[in-house]
Structure 1
Amino acid sequence: MNIEDIRNYCLAKPLATEDSAFGPDGILFRVYNKIFAYIDLDRPDLVVTKCDPDYAITLRDKYNGIRGAWHWNKKYWNKVMFDTDVPDELVYELIDHSLSEVLKKLPKKTQTAYAELTKH
């Protein structure tokens, strides 16, 4: 697993965009202008994703490669390290989970519109 795989996966999500709002050393991935993933170019061995707080604790207890994300609200954001005890499939699942966490905070009309995009 590498950051290019993660970048491609994130950008394959409907309406996903990327930017460097935090500076040139990182890439933010957004849907509806809401962040769902972050890659730190100085740390190409991990991705930061949003997570349900209870699930975040469970994941951190189970995997050495998942920890609270530095400089992010650790209640909601995990750093997920590649080439550790975290399976590649789980990394992708956590990106999907992060996107779901972001979408569920949006207005119902927006959630419905996004769901329609994913049906096609």
Structure 2
Amino acid sequence: MDVSNVKAYCLSKRGAEETYPFGPEPLVCKVGGKMFALLSPDSVSLKCDPVIALNLREQHDAVKPGYHLNKKHWNTVEFHSSLTEGELWDMIDHSYTLVVNSLTKVQRAALGA
């Protein structure tokens, strides 16, 4: 896995947009104006249900508490690890779904969600 594949997957999500609110790095992927992924060259930070976040950290060495984020709700996942692409895609899907579900009915309808 590398940042370009992860970026492409994140931006393939309905309504996803590429932003740089913190300067030239990191890339922040948003939906409905809310962040669901923060990409650096060697990792991605993803929103996560707190219980699932703890389980993922226990199961995978590559999953750490969110770097410079709320550690209860965010995980940082290292790209060069034993995680499969499918496992990372599932984590991205979960993050995206959490954020979409937090949007207003009008915003969700605009996405077709």
Alignment TM class, shorter chain as reference: over 0.9
TM-score, normalized by length of structure 1? 0.87
Q: 46, 51, 75: which is aligned to 1:54?
A: 51
Residue type of the alignment partner of 1:47: V
Distance 1:18 1:103 in 2: 16
Aligned to 2:12: 12
Aligned to 1:74: 71
Measured against aligned partners, the alpha-carbon deviations of 1:21-74 in whole angstroms (never above 9, x if no partner) come to: 01112100001110000112xxx1211110000000000000000010111001
SS at match of 1:101: helix
Report 1:33-112 matches (<5 A): 33-40=33-40, 44-112=41-109
Distance 2:15 2:70 in 1: 25
Question: How many residue pairs end up in the alignment?
Answer: 113
Uncovered stretches (5+) of structure 1, i.e. residues with no partner: none
Note if contact 2:3-2:39 (Cα within 8 Å) is conserved in structure 1.
yes
TM-superposed CA distance for 1:110, in Å, is 2.8
What fraction of aligned residue pairs are identical, expressed as a percent?
A: 35
TM-superposed CA distance for 1:14, in Å, is 1.3
TM-score, normalized by length of structure 2? 0.92
Note if contact 1:66-1:86 (Cα within 8 Å) is conserved in structure 2.
no
CA RMSD of aligned residues (A): 1.3
Uncovered stretches (5+) of structure 2, i.e. residues with no partner: none
Distance 2:28 2:88 in 1: 16
